[in-house]
Structure formats: C-alpha cells, structure tokens
Chain A
Amino acid sequence: MAESVRQFTNMEVSDAAEASDNQLIARTLAGETEAFSILVRRWERPIYSLTLRMLGRDEDARDACQEAFLAAFRNLAKFRGDAKFSSWMYRIALNACHTRLRNNNGISYSLDQEDEHGRRLDLADSKLESLPDQLHRNEQTQIVRRALQALPPEMRQVIVMKEYEEMTFAEIAEVLGIPTSTVKSRLYTGLQQMRLRLNHLREAV
C-alpha cells in the first residue's frame, strides 16, 4: 500500500485526524482512499482486540482483522449513517471471526500446547518454573484464554464485547441485532460457564 499512499501534507493529516468517522467515510467514497487508512488506524486496536479474544491466536486475529477492514472498504457504500461506524465495524469483524471459526471447526486447536502467538507452551514447562511471576501470569492468561475459547461463540462474543471492549448492553445489542435482554441472558450464561471452566482448569493445573 505504501506506493499507493499519497503523501499527505501536515495540514491534510491534521484534518484527517480530526475528521469524524462519517466525514472520513464520505471522503473515502469520494475516491480518497487515504481517508480509509485513517479509519483503519483509528479502529485497529479495538477490532484487533475483539478478533484476538474471539479467535485466541494472534495470527488468526490479524487475518480476521484485515479481512474485516477490507470487507468494510468494499461495502462502505452500504454503510448507513444512522448507525455508528464502530458498531458496523464490530459486526463485520465478528462475521469474519465466525467464518474462521466455522472453517476451523470451532477452533479448539492447539489450545493445550500454544499461547496466543502460536508458541508452543506447556503449563508445566520446566523452563518457566524458575520464574514464578512469569509462570503465574502465563498460567493465568492461558487458563482464561482456554476457558474463553471453550465457550460457544454466541456467549464468547458477548463476554468479549462487555469485558474487553467495555461496550454497554445497548451497544452490544445494536451490533448483534438482538434485544438487550438477550444480551444480558447470554452474558449471564456465559459467566456461569466461565466460572465452571475456570474452576476445572485451575484444578487440572
């Protein structure tokens, strides 16, 4: 993309950084593809955070993130201004995650051997035993990751959006297109299952 990116002047960068999502969308639709790059920079952190917690692995999360932004670019003309761009973007990212989960049969692969970056990891790895703090942190993260990945995607996505994206029930409901009561119900069930799985995993370790 580097060769295709027009060199912004300082004024243009400043303007673009201060522009609202809808203004950047309008500029992108008018043919200024660099405006979309600003949108990507603005939203890559929350979208990557969502895909990472949904898929559990960095590599998959990056790919899903890229797919989501590319899909957003291609379908930008279909975006309606009555909804927030972030909600629309989260929905596209979740769809990308669900597609990957379906293609990988629920993606419960390698969870016992690899961390989120695909590195092989054993919770009882002798190399980590000499570093109690790191071991404890890694153990804790791996337990959470494994427990979360074991949840059905419908519950996982609600927990991820609430816990890591800090979205309100109404915002989650808007993204998923379901009633707020359903969001709360799924969250409740998800937390129950998480409680059970975390207990189970802690006992196993």
Chain B
Amino acid sequence: MNNCGKKELLVSYLYNEASLTERGEFEQHLSNCAACHDEFQAFQGVREELSTWQMPFVPHIEVVTPRSAVDALRDFIRLVPGWLKLTSGLATAAAVGLVVLALTGARISVGSSGFEAQFGGKEITQVKSAAPTVVTPTTVQSFSRAEAEQMMQAAVTQAQARAQLQTQAQLASLETRLNAAYQAQLQTATARMRQEQQRKLQIELAKFDNGTRQTVTEWLLTTTENSQEATNNEKNN
C-alpha cells in the first residue's frame, strides 16, 4: 500500500494527463520512492492486461422508436394518390368551414335577393345572385315545418301537372304519326288492288271479240266515272 499521498499524481502521470510541472514533480518522486515506483510499474502491467480484452465486433443495435404522428401523416400523404389528396383537401376544408359556421351559430338562407348569411342571429352579409333582379326590400324568411311541407306539396303537384302535360303531348304526337303511317299503307294497298283489278279485267276482255270488248269497255268507263264522282261527292261532303 502506497502512503505517499501521491495517488492522484500517480494516476495523472500514468494516463499522460499530468501538467509539465506535475510530471517533473512526480518523476523526481519516482526516483526517490520505491513504493511508488513499484506501484507505477504494476499499474502499467494492469493496463497492458486490460488492453487484451478487445471487442471483436459491434452488434447492430436496433432501437424501435415509436413513429411520431408527423411521420405517420407524412407516410400516409405520400401513399395517397394526387386526386384523392385534392379531394380530401377540399372535403377537409369544407368540413372545417361547416364546423366553424356551426360553432359561430351561422345560418345561411336563400331569399329572392340571393344568399344571406347570419352569424349568431345577426345578419352580417348578403350575397346577391349574379342575375339582374329587381331589388326589393326583403327579410330573411324562416319557415315552419307545416309551411315547408305545404311548399313541398305544391312543388310536387306542379311537377306532376307538368309531367302529365308532357305525356299528353307525346301521346298526341304518336297518334298523329300512327295515323299518317296507316293512311299511307291504306293508299298503297288500294293502289295495288286497283292495279290487280285492271290486270284481271284486261285478261277477261281479251277473251271477248272486238265488238263485245268495246261495248263492255265503254260500260266500264261510264261506271267508273260515276263511282269516282260519287266518291268525290262523299269526300266533299
């Protein structure tokens, strides 16, 4: 055991942390103190032995740190497609706007003079519609449930009447077109029948001699003219 009172100086000298003055002082002491000299040499041996324990490798230290909300949000935004970012951004802005309006007690109504907004029961702004309208003094209307139902009923009735008129017009148009088609087909069929009759008549006339054929032809022409006159008279009537 060293009782020289030079412990700290010995340690400083051993690890090369002694000042120049301390070094000179301790080196002089070492030359005179066998105990300190032995201890100093022994400590140097201890240091050499300590240095034999080398660290062969350093393991990869895994530290699982919790992800921050910012990181999570950043990753989420990076993975989301652009169109969804835009949509969600607009939706978020709209939602925030609605929340703000709700919190401020805002009420938006539509009057004859355009959109009107009220915040906390006090009218602040009035946004008029772009179409030129005659500006008349109006007040913000608030409807009761019964009034709203009545208005709804009136609107439904009006819509039904409009739909009925449209249906009737479509039916009339369809009937006209059908009649026209029917008349055209009737005329075609009539013309064909006449042609067929004439063809058969000519075949029959061919079987007669000339005198008989002329007589029958004149008779037929007379009958046909009479029937045409009768038909024309009927049409005129």
Complex alpha-carbon distance, A198 and B52, angstroms: 13
Q: Which of B17, B43, B59 contacts A58 (CB 8 A)?
A: B59
Smallest CB–CB gap between A17 and chain B, Å? Answer: 17
Q: Mark B49-75, 1 if CB is under 8 A from A, else 0.
A: 111111100111111111111110011
Known: A58-B59, A137-B52, A194-B46. A184 touches B68 (CB 8 A): no
**Cβ contacts under 8 Å, A140 to chain B:** 49, 52
Q: Given A6-B74, A188-B7, are A36 and B65 also a contact pair (CB < 8 Å)? A: yes
Residue of A nearest to B47 (CB): A163
Q: Which residues of chain B have a CB within 8 Å of any CB of chain A?
A: 7-8, 10-12, 15, 17, 39, 42-43, 45-47, 49-55, 58-71, 74-75
- Contact A188 B11, beta carbon cutoff 8 Å: yes
A residues 51-85 touching B (CB-CB < 8 Å): 52-53, 58, 62, 65-66, 69-70, 73
Please measure, in the bound complex, the distance between the C-alpha atom of A21 and the C-alpha atom of B71, giving whole angstroms: 21
Complex: how many Å from CA A88 to CA B41? 34
CB-CB under 8 A for A198 and B46, given A49-B55, A145-B53: yes
Closest-CB distance, B50 to chain A (whole angstroms)? 5
A67 to B27, CA, bound (A): 45
Which A residues are within 8 Å of any B CB, using their own CB? 1, 4, 6, 30-33, 36-37, 40, 44-45, 47-49, 52-53, 58, 62, 65-66, 69-70, 73, 137, 140-141, 143-145, 148, 159, 162-164, 168-169, 181, 184-185, 187-188, 191-192, 194-195, 198
Q: Which residue of A lies closest to B74 (CB)?
A: A6
Interface centre among A145, A185, A194 (most CB of B within 10 A): A194
Known: A49-B55, A187-B11, A195-B42. A69 touches B61 (CB 8 A): yes
> A4 to B61, Cβ gap below 8 A?
no
Which applies to chain A's interface (DSSP): helix, strand, loop or mixed? helix
27 contacts between A and B (CB under 8 A): A4-B65, A6-B71, A30-B70, A31-B68, A31-B70, A31-B71, A33-B68, A36-B65, A37-B65, A44-B60, A48-B55, A48-B58, A49-B55, A62-B59, A62-B61, A73-B63, A137-B52, A140-B52, A141-B52, A145-B53, A162-B15, A169-B12, A188-B7, A194-B50, A195-B42, A195-B45, A195-B46
A sample of 7 more A-B contacts (CB under 8 A), given A6-B75, A32-B71, is A36-B63, A48-B59, A52-B55, A62-B59, A141-B52, A144-B53, A195-B45
Q: How far is the CB of B168 from chain A (nearest CB, A)?
A: 69
User: How many A-B contacts are there with CB distance less than 8 Å?
Assistant: 106
Contact of B63 among A31, A32, A37, A194 (CB under 8 A): A37
A184 touches B50 (CB 8 A): no
Residues of A within 8 A of B62 (CB): 1, 66
B45 neighbours in A (Cβ, 8 Å): 195
Contact B63 A169 (CB under 8 A): no
Whether A188 contacts B10 by the Cβ 8 Å rule is: yes
